[in-house]
Structures are given as structure tokens and as C-alpha cells.
Amino acid sequence: MRRFLQLSFVVCCSVNNDMSTIKEQLKPIILNSLRITDLTPADLRDDQPLLGGELEIDSIDVLQLVLEIERHFGIKLVQGNFNQKNLENINALAATIESKMAEARS
């Protein structure tokens, strides 16, 4: 039981680390794709709404963002059941990227 808990803790930490790393990489990509120059990655919250919020993302911005994400992470982001909800905020987008990376690995 103790070993199982230890293992679970390690797995959780590793997933959280992956997510944190993804978010760290994602924030500059978002700013760069949207041509936002007056904000830094540190200004973006993890729950920062991407759609309908102050970033004012439109269709072309989404394409630019998808292009940059796919190039950076080496995944096909928009495929299968991907929809607008996956772009709701940075947390949701990072989780989607994480799961697509896991899919690609397996």
C-alpha cells in the first residue's frame, strides 16, 4: 500500500510537472501567435480565458495559434474530438496538449 501511494505521488508530480512545463512553453507561444507585445508570459494566468476574454482571439488567431502549437510540440492538435472547449483557457489547452502528446507517445 505504501509503495502504491509512493508510486501514485511520483506519477502525480510528474504529470503536474509536465503540465507546468507545457504551460510555461505555451504562454510565450500564445503571445507570439497573437502578436501581443504589451504582456509578458508572467502576466498570463493559468485560468486566463482565451476566447471571449481580453485577448480577443478570432478565427485567424486560432489558426496561427494551432500552427505554432503543433510545430512546437510536434502534435496534431485539431483532430478527433477537439472543439472550442479545448481552447477555453490555458489550463484546458495545456491539458489537451498533454493528452495529445501522450497519444503520440503510445
- Under rule CB under 8 A, residue 95 binds other proteins: no
- Under rule CB under 8 A, residue 55 binds other proteins: no
Which amino acid is it at 8? S
| Residue 94 grid cell | 495545456
- Under rule CB under 8 A, residue 64 binds other proteins: yes
Q: In this complex, which beta carbon is closest to other proteins, that of residue 5 or of residue 52?
A: 52
| Rounded alpha-carbon distances, angstroms, from residue 27 to 48, 49, 84 | 10, 12, 18
Q: In degrees, to the nearest 5, what angle opens at C-alpha 34 toward C-alphas 30 and 37? A: 90
Q: Are 23 and 94 in contact (CB under 8 A)?
A: yes
Q: Which residues, 11 to 40, sit near other proteins by CB under 8 A? A: 35
Select from 6, 11, 12, 76 the one that contacts other proteins (CB under 8 A): 76
Residues lying near other proteins in the complex (CB under 8 A) are found at 35, 51, 57-60, 62-64, 66-67, 70-71, 76, 78-79, 82-84, 87
